[in-house]
Structure 1
Amino acid sequence: MLNKNQLTFLSIFTLFGFSGIAYFILSFSDAFAYIEIFEAQNLYLDIVYGLFGGAVLAGLGLLILQIPKLKKVGEFYQQIFTNIHLSWPDILFYSFCAGVGEEILFRGAIQPFLGIWVTAVLFVLLHGYISLKDKSKSIYGLYLIIVAAAFGYAYQYISIYTAMAAHFIYDVIMFSYLMRKNKAENHQNSAGE
């Protein structure tokens, strides 16, 4: 199980390390430049689109987790955070680091070479959301491939800031859902004692 210090370290590495890896990858390319990742026509509108789209995708993800056969998937992810008591600043920080760092690497540096769908599958596989031993986890993983592809299309057709904002708000909503469930269960357990 992760503890808060490990999660903080991983988040900081995701923000800076993944950005550095993206820079390294693109330094070998004549076709794609690192600075081009950050081009945008309308930064604020791009962010609003991302926040709206990411919230819709998170809402759909929460609905999917309510399907009886997939409830244990939500419980699995909830268990990861059982011993980590996150505050709102923690949730916002971790979500920001993942949204920025992962989008720069996957959408900005990997997607131009592998395409939207291969990058989405790679993203989900590397996060461990597909499991040969757990069919329900893999079904949810298939939904996450669609989510990752949506981030890819947001980057390709709008800007990296849309993908970052969508990823950020998706994670905020999912983190807060898991933490609320943990608090509710802890409250139930302490009331039952």
Structure 2
Amino acid sequence: MKKFDMSKFKLRKVTIDELDDRMLLINLYATQAITLIIGFVWILFQHRNPFLLFALPQNSTFLLWGIGLGILVIAVDLLISRFVPEEVGDDGGINDRIFKNRPWWHIILLSFIVSVCEETLFRGGIQHSFGPYWTSIIFAVIHVRYLKHWIPTGLVFSISYGLGWIYEHTGTLWAPIIAHFLVDMIMGFVIRYRRET
């Protein structure tokens, strides 16, 4: 039996340009699965039932909060992108690579998966332990591709704080999931269908 030689095992940083589309999607789905698992484990360590977070509330006001925050974030993001140079909001081309050539149904699917997985961890688990302010700092740091510039970092922090606020206000995880989903989906469609100038 051949032994595995750890001295030959090396980790190296890979740029987005080195990943083909298949590997990019594998990485995206894998990180979201890990995020969801960590979220469920975190919630279980808090002696809470993670499945109860997904119970639908009896009234539908959470829909208004989720849709309202989603529309507000999209409007602010589009306004900022109109007046701020493109390189300030540069994420290293990751969003373009994820959404540019994706069919519309896959953009919807990706947006839903990301919103459920990230909101389960951040609003469902971390916010319960640390509150919306520190959760938003962690959320901004996790979105490392935006940390090069203060405008997108501030925007990610603000969005996260808004998601945390509507979660506390409505008492349901579905409000931030809806807002997160709308933002990701519509911005994905903007990237996918925008005309090159």
TM-score bracket relative to the smaller structure = 0.7 to 0.9
Q: Following TM superposition, by how much is the alpha carbon of 1:82 offset from its aligned partner in structure 2, in angstroms?
A: 4.7
**Number of the residue aligned with 1:178:** 191
Matched, 1:38 2:47: no
1:7-46 alignment runs, 5 A limit:
7-30=24-47, 32-42=48-58, 44-46=60-62
Matched, 1:79 2:93: yes
Q: Following TM superposition, by how much is the alpha carbon of 1:39 offset from its aligned partner in structure 2, in angstroms?
A: 4.2
Q: Following TM superposition, by how much is the alpha carbon of 1:73 offset from its aligned partner in structure 2, in angstroms?
A: 3.3
1:1-193 alignment runs, 5 A limit:
1=16, 2-30=19-47, 32-42=48-58, 44-68=60-84, 70-74=85-89, 76-77=90-91, 79-80=93-94, 81-82=96-97, 84-131=100-147, 134=148, 137-158=149-170, 159-181=172-194, 184-185=195-196
Q: Following TM superposition, by how much is the alpha carbon of 1:33 offset from its aligned partner in structure 2, in angstroms?
A: 3.7
* Larger helix percent: 1
TM-score by length of 1: 0.79
**Number of the residue aligned with 2:9:** none
SS in 2 for 1:177: helix
State which drifts further: 6-15 or 160-169: 6-15
Query: 2: CA distance between counterparts of 1:73 and 1:14?
Result: 26
Asked whether the equivalents of residues 57 and 147 of structure 1 are also in contact (C-alpha less than 8 Å), the reply is yes
Offset from partner CA, 1:151-190 (integer Å, 9 cap, x none)? 1111111110010000000001211222234xx22xx5xx
Q: Structure 1 residues 103 and 43 mapped into 2: Cα distance closer, same or farther (>3 Å)?
A: farther
Structure 1 unaligned runs (5+)? Answer: 189-193
Query: 1: CA distance between counterparts of 2:116 and 2:145?
Result: 20
Q: Following TM superposition, by how much is the alpha carbon of 1:20 offset from its aligned partner in structure 2, in angstroms?
A: 1.9
Tell me the C-alpha RMSD between the 2 structures: 2.4
Q: Following TM superposition, by how much is the alpha carbon of 1:3 offset from its aligned partner in structure 2, in angstroms?
A: 3.9
Q: Structure 1 residues 152 and 10 mapped into 2: Cα distance closer, same or farther (>3 Å)?
A: farther
Offset from partner CA, 1:99-135 (integer Å, 9 cap, x none)? 100000110011111110110111111111553xx4x
Q: Following TM superposition, by how much is the alpha carbon of 1:48 offset from its aligned partner in structure 2, in angstroms?
A: 4.1
TM-score by length of 2: 0.77
Q: Following TM superposition, by how much is the alpha carbon of 1:142 offset from its aligned partner in structure 2, in angstroms?
A: 0.4
Query: 1: CA distance between counterparts of 2:79 and 2:23?
Result: 30
State the identity %: 23
SS in 2 for 1:115: helix
